[in-house]
Amino acid sequence: MMNLDHYKSTIQKSGFAVINNIFSEEEIEKIGQVIENIDTSKEAFRKSEDLFAIRQFLKEVPEVQDLIFNDNIQKIIAEVFGEKYFVVKSIYFDKPEKSNWYVAYHQDLTISVDKKAELPGFGPWTTKQNQFAVQPPLDILENIFTIRIHLDDTDENNGALKVIPNSHLKGIYRPETIDWSVETETICNVEKGGIMIMKPLLLHGSNRTTNGKKRRVIHIEFSDRQLPKQLKWSENMN
């Protein structure tokens, strides 16, 4: 398999890396078939003309777990993240072909937890569909890795992520303060069956789809940290 030391150092330095050929065509087809056959009326599902999303994806669609955690993904988690990392969040996104949905530059500053608890360093809080999210202390965010599995070829014409390299090293970085005289933008093209690994504090966004091609992504976050005893990760899966 590929030299993972290279990707590990790239992620530490730049905040992201793209690795193609992680899933075979057959594996991607099987994952797609499972998603097509699920009951989309559940509360955790969000469906509109511009977006179809499934929160707590691995919990809501357990049939995909064995397909997603193939040998390649398990090796990447162990060697790039660390042996003690576990799933703490999973979402499935589908930007349909005609979607005009776009995402402005932001950092992923919240984690999903089981309930609301007043704790020093945790806040502000939000609640969506009975799911609790909170901004935790910075050290928890700095320790998270995200894997984005691409079920379609994705480039700048159908919503590939655009990122600001190295921005994950600058703490809380408000998008309105981006200094474009020193920062650069990178478009993260990913092939079908490839993945993008990123740090949540990396400033990232995406443009509208202009080429009429869909973009389906499975977003999974990993941590090796236990939360204070009053809180639990809303998803916790080894």
Domain ranges of the chain: 4-223
CATH architecture of structural domain 4-223:
Sandwich (2.60)
Q: What is the pLDDT of residue 50?
A: 52
* Residue 151 and residue 192 in contact, taking contact as beta carbons nearer than 8 Å: yes
Task: Give 159's pLDDT tier (boundaries 50, 70, 90).
Answer: confident
Residues 6+ away with beta carbon under 8 Å from 178: 105, 164, 203
- The answer to whether residue 130 scores a pLDDT higher than 80 is no
pTM of the complete model? 0.94
Lowest mean pLDDT among 75-79, 173-177, 212-216: 212-216
Q: What is the pLDDT of residue 160?
A: 92
Per DSSP, the residues of the chain read ---HHHHHHHHHHHSEEEE--SS-HHHHHHHHHHHHTS-TTSTTEEE-SS-EEEETHHHH-GGGHHHHS-HHHHHHIIIII-TT-EEEEEEEEEE-TT----EEEE----EEESS----TT---EEEETTEEEE---HHHHHT-EEEEEESS-B-TTBT-EEE-TTGGGSSS--GGG--TTT---EE--B-TT-EEEE-TTS-EEEPPB-SS--EEEEEEEEE-PPPPTT--BS--B-
Please give the backbone phi and psi of residue 230, each rounded to the nearest 5 degrees, phi first.
-75, -15
Report in angstroms the alpha-carbon separations of 200 from 49, 136, 146, 159, 181.
27, 12, 7, 18, 23
The total number of residues shown for the chain amounts to 238
Task: Give 99's pLDDT tier (boundaries 50, 70, 90).
Answer: low
| Average pLDDT score over the chain | 92
The candidate with the shortest Cα–Cα distance to 19, out of 177, 174, 111, 145, is 145
The better pLDDT of the pair 111, 215 is held by 111
